[in-house]
Amino acid sequence: MKPMQAKAAGTPRKIVGFHQDDSFDWVADLECGHQQHVRHNPPWTSRHWVTTPQGRREHIGNELPCSLCASDVPKLSNKS
């Protein structure tokens, strides 16, 4: 019997870009038009790749779970 693994809630969506919010935290722009913070905040969240331009470039096309798509929340009309 395989151990159960926690699955992130949301619809998988590809990262199409990044920008920084007003607090200078990195935000992933998703193909669906929604956005998701991708913070590097150890020990809670370890995303060292987001701290460099190369790391962010290498993650374009990777998928993140979009909980907003799963709950039918409309897209944001503008970015920060």
Instruction: Give per-residue pLDDT as tens, 7-55.
Output: 568 899 999 999 999 999 999 999 999 999 998 887 888 899 999 999 9
The reported pTM is 0.76
Neighbours of 2 (CB within 10 A): 4
Q: Note the pLDDT of residue 43.
A: 81
Please report, to the nearest 10 degrees, the dihedral formed by the alpha carbons of residues 16, 38, 78, 70 taken in order: 80
Task: List, in order of start, the domains of the chain with CATH numbers.
Answer: 11-70 (2.40.50.740)
- 63, 13 Cβ separation under 8 angstroms: yes
Nearest to 38 by CA among 10, 66, 7: 66
d(CA 77, CA 48): 29
